Amino acid sequence: MSTPVRVRFAPSPTGPLHIGGVRTALFNYLFAKGKNGKFILRIEDTDQNRYVEGAEDYIIESLNWCGITIDEGPREGGDKGPYRQSERKEIYRKYAEMLVEKGHAYYAFDTAEELDTRRQEAESLGNTFIYNWYNRDHLNNSLGMDQETLKGKLENSDNYVIRFKAPKDETLVLKDRIRGEITIDTNILDDKVLFKSDGMPTYHLANIVDDHLMEISHVIRGEEWLPSLALHVLLYRSFGWQAPEFAHLPLILKPAGKGKLSKRDGDKLGFPVFPLEWKDPKDGTVSAGYREEGYFPEAVVNFLALLGWNPGDEREIFGMEELCDVFTLEKVNKSGARFDPDKIKWFNHHYLQQASVSELVDRFQKVLKSNRIEVSDDFAEKVIVLIRERADFVGDFLELGGFFFETPQTYDEKAARKQWKEDTNRYINEIGDLLAGLPEFSSEISESVVKQWITDNELGFGKVMPPLRLALVGEMKGPHIFDIMGVIGQEETVARLRRAVEVLG
């Protein structure tokens, strides 16, 4: 039997989750769900200095909004918990010491000043200081130190760290599910700090220990972690543990195609880089989020899925379930994926057309209320049906269909000059009389009556329809004229025709 698939999304709660982080979570989720696996959320909060109030809630709310369900996590629990590293503090020391015992790690007592001096010495010779095989025997650490001295130093609780002893003269062949084999010369590695004397592990140690204890089968994460892969593989080897499989996702690039899309790009480039709006707890600044900008989570998910992955054919529209079925790591690209804000809008347009009318009515009523417009759900629905095709967002409805809610106060001047001729007053007045006298009124009835009148009077449609539109809408836009009449009703239609004659005549 093959090992069960267990993946984890392991963000650090240092601020709002970047949209790239959502993509990482999504790819993990799709991979796991396609294999009946589990998706685990682990909060990597060992760096207390960078902890940001509210970030964990934000991460969880973002995943929920996208429909990424967490099987095990800080709120859900699970038998491999706790799922917050700050609550696992006690676990890590033992593993760091285990590596020291096995000869794969050592205590280092170098002070910050000592390390600074070394750095400056190296720089003055045009070199970079790397703490590793090349100089570790001459630095202030436990290598070659007798047990007595070491014990004394540790007891006096000098500021010490535990460093990994990276092997010398080895060629490592690392395997990545997306990038294939990567060869690394271990001599270029530095002896990374694994554990600090304040009792906290560093990211590297905590991450490996937790992935092992949580039985993570596949580590799927951003390309920025690729440089850590050699160390991580060596850590597994040193512990004598089976390493998970690794897959490093391509970078997300700015729309222009150059440079990584960063957290700071957001409001600067004119589109959100966060899933939800984020209010900075320190200075109160607000960064835009896709949810608040009116995006459907389905659109965001569909867009993110195609950011670095493709199904191998031209298909673009995918719901979450379908994505779980078709997603494979083999179809993830190596090269960076350009973030295209127009494309995500395009997806939103698509999902807006798919959304149920009742959902749209609910959302639209909120917009209307905030604009102090009160109409029945039935009326809102009729408007939506006529204009949704032209909208990317529910927020566009009012812009596209404001005239449904208010008699035009002004008329487009250029259009009026062009469309309102000598005898237009007469036509519009006569049509007004005709419509006012109808015992029943609907878009179909008004259409057949007006068209008949045009034919009977031997007039061209081009003489009558444009002024009618101008009278009803105030400009030359909007859906089918008779559909507008049907929605605003007989009385309002007639009133608008009368008013236009008054103002434009």
d(CA 403, CA 410): 11
Nearest distance from C-beta of residue 247 to ligand GLU, angstroms: 11
- Closest to ligand GLU by CB, 20 or 479: 20
Residue 263 annotated as catalytic: yes
- CA angle centred on 273, ends 270 and 275, rounded to 5°: 125
Q: Token match 């494979």: residue?
A: 328
Per DSSP, which regions of 302-412 are E strands? Answer: 337-338
Query: Is the CB of residue 385 less than 8 Å from the CB of residue 356?
Result: no
Query: Is the CB of residue 411 less than 8 Å from the CB of residue 475?
Result: yes
d(CA 45, CA 13): 6
d(CA 107, CA 114): 15
Nearest distance from C-beta of residue 100 to ligand GLU, angstroms: 23
d(CA 192, CA 132): 9
- Closest to ligand GLU by CB, 44 or 392: 44
The residues of the shown chain that bind ligand GLU, judged by CB under 6 A, are 10-12, 44, 207, 221, 225
d(CA 177, CA 173): 13
d(CA 337, CA 334): 9
Options 35, 254, 263, 451, the catalytic residue? 263
Nearest distance from C-beta of residue 214 to ligand GLU, angstroms: 12
Helix (H), strand (E) at residue 163: strand 161-164
d(CA 473, CA 408): 6
d(CA 176, CA 477): 55
Nearest distance from C-beta of residue 285 to ligand GLU, angstroms: 22
- Closest to ligand GLU by CB, 10 or 233: 10
For residue 306, give the nearest of 320, 295, 321, 316 by alpha carbon: 316
Helix axes 481-504, 424-436, angle to 10 degrees: 130
Helix (H/G/I), strand (E/B), else coil: 9 = strand
Q: Point out the residues that are catalytic.
A: 263
